[in-house]
Amino acid sequence: MRPGPRARNATLAVVVLLCGLTLLAAFFNKARCSGAPFDGDGRSVVFDELKDRDACYSDIQFLWLGRDVDNHVFPYIDGAITDGGALVGGAVEYPVLSGTLMWIGALGAHNDAEFLLHSALLLAPFALLIAWMLGRLAGRAAMLWSIGPPLILYAFHNWELPVVAASVAAVFVVASWNRVSLRQRATAAAVLLGVGFCLKLYPGLFVLPLMAYVLTGGIGGREFPADFRRRYDVRGAIGVGLAAAGTAIAINLPFALAGFEGWRASFEFQQQREADITTNSIWFWGVRHLFGTSGAAEASFQHTVSVLSPVMVLGSFALALWLGWRRYGVDGTYPWVAVSGSMLCGFLLFHKVHSPQYTLWLIPFFVLLTVPWGTVLWYLVADLAVGIGVFQYFWALQTAGAVEWTENIVQFGVWGRAALLVYFFFMFLRAKPRGTPEPVPVESPGRELVAI
């Protein structure tokens, strides 16, 4: 029995309220690394002392220096990347909308503590919006977002909240705007995914499964346009792809025209980034040990990763899309949200960089899909081992502390997380959307029995 409107509204209010309280805890967690006295560049003196020891490091505070954020330089326009891979002149390593948010957060800030505060105020509404949308879609399961450890650890670690909001909003639009056609809903969702691509790239992955969902007529194949008699809606699927691509181009084009080198530098920086001790990936903690320790061996390792990583990422995408198509053959509905979650698992597993805050990308899929809560808990444990343990490991390396013990914690986190990503890759594809009734066969005029 589904709860009534009053109960749903009460649950929604609690979800959003608890999210707000968690955001306060998240800010104070990071703020431990900031505050007077400041050096001549506006850097908190305690930052270098506490960021690893107390695990209160944030990219936001760190990037107050080194990207001309402190000089309030508008990003990309006059920027570039040097032959040595350093970003100069306002160039940043993120897509254009994230870089713009960095610039907005720095307005009026004179030190890294003010930058952290302004950025937190800028980012917090996105977390609250995510809580509201997840609460509408999945009810009490949204508590995982609102009170889970990842939000405390990573809400203000980097600029992830807007991109997660864009991804969740795309799902929300498709699932909730039932008064408009599937094509219209999917086109609006594609625009949101295009915006997300301009924040942190990964929502662009979800356009392909969304196109497949439109191609096959949505729920049970019953959402084709009126009087549609063909097997697949090719025109609608192409329109979704063009909407996403057009949005991404429209947002990027002014930056590319105004300062091509600075715009290109963000992509070049990520392409040149190596799988090192800061990347928390299976490549550094696993594959690297198959090579020697010489300079030539290190170069060979990095070259191998630069080839294998994208190949395996793309292979995982293809597998997820194919398995989704097989499920469509059984259920009559292409599981675009589930396939999107599986593609994200493949990316997180095989990409050469797996920053701790990427967990925020994955949490909505735990909420939206009926996966076992026990395995979610284990994922959060592994994530804590990385999200806190890696900084303790860095601290031990600096102070000759218990390096072996802290390294074991990080290894547990990296490999535990990797094993669970493999599990969720396949589990997502079997899971039903949370809060959605089981499909029942119905007669669709002019078609075979399908499921809705």
Q: Which of 207-216, 262-271, 288-297, 422-431 has the lowest mean pLDDT?
A: 288-297
Other beta carbons within 10 Å of 113: 22
User: Residue 2: its pLDDT value, please?
Assistant: 63
Share of the chain above pLDDT 70, in %: 95
* 127 neighbors 233 (Cβ within 8 angstroms): no
- Report whether 428 contacts 336 (CB < 8 A): no
The percent of residues in the chain predicted with pLDDT above 90, rounded, is 85
Q: Where are the alpha helices (DSSP H) in 5-111?
A: 5-31, 45-50, 59-62, 96-106
Residue 436 confidence (pLDDT) above 60: no
pLDDT given for residue 65 in this prediction: 95
Over residues 195-212, the mean pLDDT reads 97
**Whole-number Å distance between alpha carbons of 414 and 31:** 27
Q: Identify the pLDDT of residue 80.
A: 93
In this prediction, residue 440 carries a pLDDT of 39
CA dist 428 and 283 (Å) reads 24
Q: What mean pLDDT is predicted for residues 65-71?
A: 94
Please check the confidence at residue 251 and state whether its pLDDT lies above 70: yes
Q: Which two tokens stand for residue 12?
A: 């929604």
Peptide bond into 37 cis (omega under 30): yes
Over residues 78-130, the pLDDT tens digits come to 999 998 889 998 899 999 999 999 999 999 999 999 999 999 999 999 999 99
Distance CA 250, CA 307 (A): 31
For the chain, domain boundaries: 275-452
Q: How is 357-389 classified by DSSP, letter by letter? A: GGHHHHHHHHHHB---HHHHHHHHHHHHHHHTH
pLDDT tens digit sequence for 326-346: 999 999 999 999 999 999 999
Task: Write the pLDDT tens digit of every residue in 142-181.
Answer: 999 999 999 999 999 999 999 999 999 999 999 999 899 9
pLDDT tens per residue across span 263-304 = 999 999 998 899 999 999 999 999 998 998 788 999 999 999
Residue type, 437: P
